[in-house]
Amino acid sequence: MRYQPVEAGEAVECPACGSTIGPAETAVRETILSIYGVEYTVLECSKCASSYAYPRVPAPADWYADIHEYYGWRWDFDEAIRDLRISLPRGARVLEIGCGEGVVLQELADYEAIGLDVNTAAITNAKKKTCRCTQIVSNNLLHRTVVRDLKPSCSSTCLSTYLTLSGF
């Protein structure tokens, strides 16, 4: 499938902050790229500097299927959890963005831990494992309104461990 690149002057809404950027050609960081056989451009928001694919390219349904096994064999997982425990104060409220199947939330079960993820199947499995978590929120699109609705005071720590443990 071939999508047309963003037309000059076309308004595109940033998925992170909601601002409308334009003209589009000034926002193109890379020209045409391809993922899963779909061509897209990478845009950068002139307001918040977030980068994103346009048009948005959905991952194949089975992309997340084995991700739950990822943490188990990473040599640095135990070290990362230890470092988190050292840095988190007693009674800390933790928000993990991209919690997957709740592996990190399970390790932090003695804290008030909340997880967000876009993968409904992963959230279902996380709920089975992380019964001591306050809440796990599933949203098919981790849309800016989800983040906007979370009050800044709701968590003392915000994590995105998948990115950290992936070496990004």
C-alpha closest to that of 122 among 63, 64, 58: 64
Is residue 96 pLDDT above 70, yes or no?
yes
C-alpha closest to that of 99 among 119, 85, 83: 119
Return the half-sphere exposure (C-beta side, CA atoms, 13 A cut-off) of residue 47: 11
Q: Domains in the chain, start-ordered, CATH in brackets? A: 12-54 (no CATH), 67-165 (3.40.50.150)
Query: Residue 133 to residues 62, 104, 125: CA-CA distances in angstroms?
Result: 26, 11, 13
Reduce the DSSP state of residue 52 to 3 states and report it. strand
Radius of gyration of the chain (CA): 18
Is residue 122 pLDDT above 60, yes or no?
yes
Q: What is the mean pLDDT of residues 117-145?
A: 59
The pLDDT-based confidence of 167 (bands split at 50, 70, 90) is: very low
pLDDT tens for 14-53 read 777 778 765 444 444 444 555 566 677 777 777 777 777 7
Q: Is 22 left (phi over 0), alpha (psi -120 to 50) or beta?
A: left
Q: How many CB atoms lie within 10 A of CB 98?
A: 18
Q: What is the mean pLDDT of residues 56-70?
A: 60
The whole model's pTM is what?
A: 0.52
